[in-house]
Amino acid sequence: MVMWLRSDGGQDAAIRLVRKYGLLEDAQDLVSMTTQRLSVALDRRTGPLPAVDSTDGAIRYAYRSMSNLAIDLARRRRSESTALISMARITPTTLGPEQSAISQVFIEELFTALHHVTATGFTCSACNDRITYAAATEVLHLALIEGSDAAAGETWFDDVIYSVVDRYHSGMSRSNAAQRQRRSRCKRCVMELLQASLKHIGVRRD
């Protein structure tokens, strides 16, 4: 399965899936993430996989795994976009005296919610909880300072998270692909924490 994923056939399949689902990840990322997912799943098994008794069966299983991962990534991206839109809607466009007061109250409520959600057991298996919390707080600071024009976009959001992730992992010698995977995993954790915090203070995502 791993040999096929890393072959030209696996790369071509990854390229098609990336295009099909409009993923931000590139084909190399998808192959690497699928390989990691398969390795974890196989390590947990105590017996052979059902219906994988030939090379063709192994290729089909690997492709299904990669396709399922691509679908998961596409769903997460839609969820992330929904959360960003929610943040844009509740962030004032112009910070006059009244809007500044509202923003101050909101950020205090959301910081309290972040702390509460984290303290009551929020964990993300994909990223360090300390990194997730630090990145989430920086996102809130920037969103509320810059206003809804920033919150409606996504580049700034990625930049904030990636800078926190890289800062915590500074000095680590890892490949570019590994760095991209680490950033992607932590971004999903930050989104989950922000969504949980917004829900805690009653912000609806509709």
The predicted model gives 119-143 an average pLDDT of 81
Task: Please state the pTM of the whole predicted model.
Answer: 0.53
Q: What is the DSSP secondary-structure string of 36-81? A: HHHHHHHHH-SSPPTT--SHHHHHHHHHHHHHHHHHHHHHHHHHHH
Within a domain: 173? yes
Among 51, 76, 101, where does a domain finish? Answer: 76
- Asked if residue 84 is part of any domain, the answer here is no
Q: Does the pLDDT at position 21 exceed 80? A: yes
Q: Do both 111 and 17 map to the same domain?
A: no
**Would residue 112 count as lying in a domain?**
yes
Rounded to an integer, the average pLDDT of 102-121 is 79
Give the chain's domain count: 2
pLDDT for 16 equals: 93
H or E stretch covering 193:
helix 176-200
Rg (CA), the chain: 20
Averaged pLDDT score across all residues of the chain? 76
Higher confidence at residue 12 or residue 44?
12
For range 98-105, the mean pLDDT: 60
Helix or strand (DSSP H, E) at 127: none
* Same domain, residue pair 61 and 132: no
Are residues 7 and 98 part of one domain? no
- Residues 159, 96 share a domain: yes
Kindly give the interhelix angle for 176-200 and 27-44, rounded to the nearest 10 degrees: 80
Query: What pLDDT, on the 0 to 100 scale, is given for residue 168?
Result: 78
Q: Are residues 98 and 195 in the same domain?
A: yes
